[in-house]
Protein backbone atom coordinates (compact mmCIF):
# COMPACT_ATOMS: atom_id res chain seq x y z
CA UNK A 1 0.00 0.00 0.00
CA UNK A 2 1.07 3.57 -0.64
CA UNK A 3 -0.20 5.32 2.49
CA UNK A 4 -0.89 2.62 5.08
CA UNK A 5 1.81 0.63 6.85
CA UNK A 6 0.57 -2.53 8.53
CA UNK A 7 2.84 -4.36 10.95
CA UNK A 8 2.11 -7.33 13.17
CA UNK A 9 3.84 -8.15 16.45
CA UNK A 10 2.53 -11.49 17.65
CA UNK A 11 -1.11 -10.78 18.51
CA UNK A 12 -0.81 -6.98 18.20
CA UNK A 13 -1.20 -5.13 14.90
CA UNK A 14 0.04 -1.59 14.24
CA UNK A 15 -1.55 0.59 11.56
CA UNK A 16 0.43 3.69 10.57
CA UNK A 17 -1.00 6.35 8.28
CA UNK A 18 2.02 7.50 6.30
CA UNK A 19 1.43 10.58 4.22
CA UNK A 20 3.85 12.89 5.95
CA UNK A 21 4.09 15.44 3.16
CA UNK A 22 0.44 16.29 3.87
CA UNK A 23 0.60 15.74 7.65
CA UNK A 24 -1.10 12.37 7.10
CA UNK A 25 -4.29 14.05 5.87
CA UNK A 26 -7.11 11.75 4.79
CA UNK A 27 -7.87 11.62 1.08
CA UNK A 28 -9.78 9.01 -0.89
CA UNK A 29 -6.71 6.81 -1.39
CA UNK A 30 -5.83 6.81 2.31
CA UNK A 31 -9.39 5.95 3.30
CA UNK A 32 -9.64 3.16 0.73
CA UNK A 33 -6.39 1.65 1.96
CA UNK A 34 -7.53 1.94 5.57
CA UNK A 35 -10.79 0.21 4.71
CA UNK A 36 -8.94 -2.60 2.94
CA UNK A 37 -6.62 -3.02 5.92
CA UNK A 38 -9.53 -3.24 8.36
CA UNK A 39 -11.31 -5.75 6.13
CA UNK A 40 -8.33 -8.08 6.44
CA UNK A 41 -8.01 -8.05 10.23
CA UNK A 42 -9.23 -11.23 11.87
CA UNK A 43 -9.47 -11.91 15.59
CA UNK A 44 -7.86 -15.33 15.15
CA UNK A 45 -4.43 -13.77 14.71
CA UNK A 46 -4.89 -10.19 15.98
CA UNK A 47 -6.21 -9.34 19.43
CA UNK A 48 -5.50 -5.60 19.63
CA UNK A 49 -4.68 -2.80 17.19
CA UNK A 50 -2.60 0.36 17.59
CA UNK A 51 -3.42 3.19 15.16
CA UNK A 52 -0.97 6.06 14.71
CA UNK A 53 0.44 8.55 12.21
CA UNK A 54 3.89 8.63 10.68
CA UNK A 55 6.37 11.16 12.05
CA UNK A 56 6.08 13.39 15.10
CA UNK A 57 4.13 16.37 13.73
CA UNK A 58 0.76 14.80 13.09
CA UNK A 59 -1.44 11.86 13.92
CA UNK A 60 -3.81 12.94 11.15
CA UNK A 61 -4.21 16.63 10.40
CA UNK A 62 -7.74 16.20 9.08
CA UNK A 63 -9.33 15.33 5.78
CA UNK A 64 -7.66 16.64 2.64
CA UNK A 65 -9.33 20.02 2.19
CA UNK A 66 -7.95 20.39 -1.33
CA UNK A 67 -9.77 17.31 -2.48
CA UNK A 68 -13.02 18.49 -0.85
CA UNK A 69 -13.03 22.10 -1.94
CA UNK A 70 -15.04 21.70 -5.13
CA UNK A 71 -17.27 18.81 -4.15
CA UNK A 72 -20.94 19.03 -5.04
CA UNK A 73 -23.60 18.39 -2.42
CA UNK A 74 -23.96 14.83 -3.68
CA UNK A 75 -20.20 14.23 -3.75
CA UNK A 76 -19.75 15.64 -0.25
CA UNK A 77 -22.60 13.50 1.07
CA UNK A 78 -21.04 10.38 -0.42
CA UNK A 79 -17.63 11.31 1.00
CA UNK A 80 -19.09 11.70 4.48
CA UNK A 81 -20.96 8.42 4.13
CA UNK A 82 -17.80 6.66 3.04
CA UNK A 83 -15.75 8.12 5.90
CA UNK A 84 -18.41 7.20 8.42
CA UNK A 85 -18.58 3.66 7.08
CA UNK A 86 -14.79 3.18 7.38
CA UNK A 87 -14.63 4.62 10.90
CA UNK A 88 -17.67 2.60 11.95
CA UNK A 89 -15.87 -0.49 10.69
CA UNK A 90 -12.94 0.39 12.98
CA UNK A 91 -15.25 1.09 15.92
CA UNK A 92 -17.12 -2.18 15.45
CA UNK A 93 -14.10 -4.43 14.92
CA UNK A 94 -14.35 -7.28 17.39
CA UNK A 95 -10.83 -6.53 18.63
CA UNK A 96 -9.97 -3.36 20.62
CA UNK A 97 -8.09 -0.44 19.09
CA UNK A 98 -5.78 2.14 20.63
CA UNK A 99 -5.12 5.52 19.02
CA UNK A 100 -1.55 6.70 19.71
CA UNK A 101 -1.98 10.39 18.92
CA UNK A 102 1.34 11.96 18.03
CA UNK A 103 0.86 15.63 17.14
CA UNK A 104 -2.09 17.14 15.30
CA UNK A 105 -5.43 15.31 15.44
CA UNK A 106 -7.66 17.77 13.64
CA UNK A 107 -11.05 17.25 12.01
CA UNK A 108 -11.03 13.78 10.50
CA UNK A 109 -7.94 12.98 12.54
CA UNK A 110 -9.76 13.66 15.78
CA UNK A 111 -12.67 11.61 14.46
CA UNK A 112 -10.34 8.72 13.65
CA UNK A 113 -9.09 8.80 17.23
CA UNK A 114 -12.69 8.92 18.49
CA UNK A 115 -13.50 5.77 16.52
CA UNK A 116 -10.82 3.88 18.46
CA UNK A 117 -11.62 2.30 21.82
CA UNK A 118 -8.80 4.01 23.73
CA UNK A 119 -6.82 7.18 23.09
CA UNK A 120 -3.38 8.05 24.43
CA UNK A 121 -1.47 11.15 23.38
CA UNK A 122 1.99 12.64 23.17
CA UNK A 123 2.65 15.90 25.01
CA UNK A 124 2.63 17.81 21.73
CA UNK A 125 -0.77 16.46 20.62
CA UNK A 126 -3.40 18.97 19.55
CA UNK A 127 -7.08 18.13 19.11
CA UNK A 128 -9.77 20.05 17.27
CA UNK A 129 -12.95 19.77 15.24
CA UNK A 130 -12.41 22.91 13.15
CA UNK A 131 -15.00 22.23 10.45
CA UNK A 132 -17.25 25.16 11.39
CA UNK A 133 -14.44 27.51 10.41
CA UNK A 134 -14.60 25.97 6.93
CA UNK A 135 -18.34 26.43 6.59
CA UNK A 136 -19.12 22.77 7.16
CA UNK A 137 -19.76 20.38 10.02
CA UNK A 138 -17.81 17.39 11.25
CA UNK A 139 -18.58 14.65 8.76
CA UNK A 140 -16.83 11.51 9.96
CA UNK A 141 -18.74 10.94 13.20
CA UNK A 142 -17.49 13.80 15.36
CA UNK A 143 -20.98 15.08 16.17
CA UNK A 144 -21.98 11.62 17.36
CA UNK A 145 -18.95 10.25 19.21
CA UNK A 146 -17.54 13.35 20.88
CA UNK A 147 -20.68 14.09 22.99
CA UNK A 148 -20.77 10.49 24.22
CA UNK A 149 -17.13 10.67 25.26
CA UNK A 150 -16.82 14.10 26.90
CA UNK A 151 -20.45 15.11 27.47
CA UNK A 152 -22.76 17.25 25.38
CA UNK A 153 -21.80 20.59 26.89
CA UNK A 154 -18.06 20.21 26.33
CA UNK A 155 -18.57 18.62 22.93
CA UNK A 156 -20.83 21.41 21.74
CA UNK A 157 -18.30 24.01 22.84
CA UNK A 158 -15.55 22.28 20.88
CA UNK A 159 -17.71 21.62 17.82
CA UNK A 160 -19.30 25.07 17.75
CA UNK A 161 -16.08 27.00 18.38
CA UNK A 162 -13.60 24.86 16.47
CA UNK A 163 -11.16 25.53 19.32
CA UNK A 164 -7.89 23.66 19.58
CA UNK A 165 -6.99 21.97 22.84
CA UNK A 166 -3.67 20.54 23.94
CA UNK A 167 -2.98 17.09 25.35
CA UNK A 168 -3.29 18.26 28.95
CA UNK A 169 -6.77 19.66 28.38
CA UNK A 170 -7.77 16.62 26.33
CA UNK A 171 -6.82 14.46 29.29
CA UNK A 172 -8.73 16.68 31.72
CA UNK A 173 -11.98 16.41 29.79
CA UNK A 174 -11.62 12.67 29.21
CA UNK A 175 -10.83 12.76 25.51
CA UNK A 176 -7.58 10.86 26.12
CA UNK A 177 -6.66 8.34 28.82
CA UNK A 178 -2.97 9.12 29.21
CA UNK A 179 -0.37 11.66 28.08
CA UNK A 180 3.26 10.66 27.50
CA UNK A 181 6.40 12.20 26.07
CA UNK A 182 6.68 11.64 22.36
CA UNK A 183 9.66 9.31 22.60
CA UNK A 184 7.75 6.72 24.65
CA UNK A 185 4.24 7.10 23.19
CA UNK A 186 4.35 4.15 20.79
CA UNK A 187 6.07 1.96 23.35
CA UNK A 188 3.33 2.74 25.88
CA UNK A 189 0.63 2.03 23.29
CA UNK A 190 2.21 -1.31 22.40
CA UNK A 191 2.61 -2.17 26.08
CA UNK A 192 -1.10 -1.59 26.70
CA UNK A 193 -2.03 -3.48 23.53
CA UNK A 194 0.04 -6.47 24.60
CA UNK A 195 -1.62 -6.43 28.01
CA UNK A 196 -5.06 -6.47 26.37
CA UNK A 197 -3.97 -9.16 23.90
CA UNK A 198 -2.83 -11.35 26.79
CA UNK A 199 -6.32 -11.53 28.27
CA UNK A 200 -9.11 -13.85 27.20
CA UNK A 201 -9.91 -12.89 23.59
CA UNK A 202 -13.48 -14.08 23.99
CA UNK A 203 -13.86 -12.08 27.18
CA UNK A 204 -12.39 -8.94 25.61
CA UNK A 205 -14.47 -9.25 22.44
CA UNK A 206 -17.63 -9.81 24.49
CA UNK A 207 -16.85 -6.83 26.71
CA UNK A 208 -16.34 -4.57 23.68
CA UNK A 209 -19.56 -5.80 22.08
CA UNK A 210 -21.53 -5.24 25.29
CA UNK A 211 -20.23 -1.68 25.67
CA UNK A 212 -20.78 -0.76 22.03
CA UNK A 213 -24.26 -2.24 21.77
CA UNK A 214 -25.26 -0.98 25.19
CA UNK A 215 -24.42 2.63 24.36
CA UNK A 216 -26.63 2.43 21.26
CA UNK A 217 -29.62 1.45 23.41
CA UNK A 218 -29.19 2.00 27.12
CA UNK A 219 -32.45 0.21 27.86
CA UNK A 220 -31.08 -2.98 26.35
CA UNK A 221 -27.52 -2.54 27.59
CA UNK A 222 -27.87 -4.66 30.69
CA UNK A 223 -29.66 -7.41 28.75
CA UNK A 224 -26.93 -7.42 26.10
CA UNK A 225 -24.23 -7.53 28.76
CA UNK A 226 -25.89 -10.41 30.56
CA UNK A 227 -26.31 -12.41 27.36
CA UNK A 228 -22.67 -11.96 26.38
CA UNK A 229 -21.54 -12.65 29.93
CA UNK A 230 -23.46 -15.92 29.83
CA UNK A 231 -22.01 -16.85 26.45
CA UNK A 232 -18.52 -16.72 27.93
CA UNK A 233 -19.43 -19.60 30.20
CA UNK A 234 -19.64 -21.92 27.21
CA UNK A 235 -15.90 -21.58 26.55
CA UNK A 236 -12.82 -23.55 27.51
CA UNK A 237 -11.01 -20.32 28.33
CA UNK A 238 -13.54 -19.43 31.02
CA UNK A 239 -13.27 -22.86 32.60
CA UNK A 240 -9.47 -22.93 32.48
CA UNK A 241 -9.04 -19.36 33.71
CA UNK A 242 -11.40 -19.72 36.66
CA UNK A 243 -9.92 -23.08 37.57
CA UNK A 244 -6.43 -21.61 37.54
CA UNK A 245 -7.58 -18.69 39.68
CA UNK A 246 -9.19 -20.90 42.28
CA UNK A 247 -6.14 -23.16 42.34
CA UNK A 248 -3.93 -20.06 42.62
CA UNK A 249 -2.07 -20.96 39.47
CA UNK A 250 -1.03 -18.80 36.51
CA UNK A 251 -2.75 -19.61 33.24
CA UNK A 252 -0.14 -20.05 30.52
CA UNK A 253 -2.28 -18.75 27.67
CA UNK A 254 -5.81 -18.52 26.33
CA UNK A 255 -6.91 -20.91 23.58
CA UNK A 256 -9.53 -18.57 22.12
CA UNK A 257 -12.05 -21.40 22.39
| CB neighbour list of residue 204: distance below 8 Å, 6 or more residues apart | 47, 95, 96, 196
Q: What does the pLDDT read at residue 115?
A: 96
131 catalytic residue (yes or no): yes
pTM of the model: 0.90
Q: What gap in Å lies between CA 2 and CA 16, rounded to an integer?
A: 11
Residue 219 pLDDT grade (very low, low, confident, very high; cuts 50, 70, 90)? low
Instruction: Give the burial string for 26-35 (b: 16+ CB within 10 Å, else e).
Output: bbeebbebbb
Q: What does the pLDDT read at residue 21?
A: 94
142-146, 153-157, 225-229: segment of lowest average pLDDT: 225-229
Using the predicted structure, report yes or no on whether residue 136 has a pLDDT greater than 80. Answer: yes
Q: What does the pLDDT read at residue 100?
A: 98
Q: What gap in Å lies between CA 116 and CA 114, rounded to an integer?
A: 5
Q: What does the pLDDT read at residue 161?
A: 97
Judge residue 212's burial from the number of C-beta atoms within 10 Å of its C-beta, 0-12 exposed, 13-18 middle, 19 or more buried: middle
- Taken in order of first residue, the domains within the chain and their CATH numbers are 4-197 (3.90.226.10), 201-246 (1.10.12.10)
Average pLDDT, the chain: 91
| CB neighbour list of residue 183: distance below 8 Å, 6 or more residues apart | none
Residue of 32, 33, 131, 157 marked catalytic: 131
User: Do the Cβ atoms of 142 and 110 come closer than 8 Å?
Assistant: yes
247 catalytic residue (yes or no): no
Please report, for residues 68, 153, 235, 247, 252, the alpha-carbon distance to residue 49 in angstroms, rounded to integers and kept in the order given.
Answer: 29, 31, 24, 32, 22
Residue of 111, 219, 225, 236 marked catalytic: 111
Using the predicted structure, report yes or no on whether residue 129 has a pLDDT greater than 80. Answer: yes
Amino acid sequence: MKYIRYEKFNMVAKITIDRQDALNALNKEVMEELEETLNNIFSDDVRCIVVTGAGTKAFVAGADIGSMQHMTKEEATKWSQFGNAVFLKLEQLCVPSIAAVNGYALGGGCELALACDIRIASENAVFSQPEVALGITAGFGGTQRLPKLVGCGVAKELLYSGARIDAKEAHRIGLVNHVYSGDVLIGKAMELAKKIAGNSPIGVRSTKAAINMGTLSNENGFEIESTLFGNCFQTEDQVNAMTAFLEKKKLDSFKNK
